[in-house]
Chain A
Amino acid sequence: ETGVTQSPTHLIKTRGQQVTLRCSSQSGHNTVSWYQQALGQGPQFIFQYYREEENGRGNFPPRFSGLQFPNYSSELNVNALELDDSALYLCASSLVSRPEQFFGPGTRLTVL
C-alpha cells in the first residue's frame, strides 16, 4: 500500500509569484484535503476534494485554488503569494466513508 506523497518537499518563491503543489493520495483513497500549518500552530483546513470537485472550504481567499484528477491526485495552487503564505502545506487523503485522514510529508513553502 502506497502512502500519501507530496512534491516538491521544499520551495522558495518571492512575493507576487504563483505556486503549484502536488499530492498523490494513498492507494484506494478517493478524498483529498489540504491544510496550511504555520510555525507553532496546528494545521488549518484549506479545502477538500472529492470526485474532482471542491467539497468544503476553510477561511482562505480565492487565490488559493485546487484540482483533483481522475486518479484522485490533487494540486494546490496559490496565486499572488504573500509573505504570510510561508508555511508547511499538508495534503491528507481519506475514504469518503471513513473519518480518519492520513497525511503526506508536506511541502515547506518560503515566500521572500
Chain B
Amino acid sequence: RKEVEQDPGPFNVPEGATVAFNCTYSNSASQSFFWYRQDCRKEPKLLMSVYSSGNEDGRFTAQLNRASQYISLLIRDSKLSDSATYLCVVKTNTDKLIFGTGTRLQVFP
C-alpha cells in the first residue's frame, strides 16, 4: 500500500465548476499536511497547508480528518489556469515529505 494515495484522474471540468480531490495517508504519526500544485515539466509549488480545523484560501478549501487519515481539496469556480497536477503531501515525524502521485485537473472553456 502506498503511503499517500490519490486518484490520478484526469478530472476534466468546465470553467466555473466545483471540483474536489481526496487523498488518504497510511502513517498515523504524520505531522503536517499540504497540497502542492505542479504544472507540466515544472517544480511543485506550495498551494496551501492543511489544518485539522480546515482552512480556506480564496477559491480553495482544504480539510483534514486525522481519525480517517483523509485529506481533501475543494476548488470552487474553476479557472482555465487551475489546470495542473495537484499533489497531496504528508510530512512525517522524520521530517521528510511523502508525495502522492498527483491528481491531474484539466479545466476546459
Contacts and interface: CB of A to CB of B under 8 A. Distances in A.
A99 interface: yes
Most buried by A among B44, B49, B101, B102: B44
B25 interface: no
Judged by DSSP, the binding face of A is strand
Contacts of A106: 42-43
Interface residues of A, number: 24
B103 to A, nearest CB: 11
Contact of A103 (B4, B32, B43, B101): B43
Contacts of A92: 97
B44 A43 contact: yes
Interface string B28-65: 00011010000001111110010000000000000000
Interface string B5-23: 0000000000000000000
Interface of B: 4, 31-32, 34, 41-46, 49, 87, 91, 94-102
Interface of A: 33, 35, 40-45, 48, 55-56, 58, 88, 90, 92, 99-106, 108
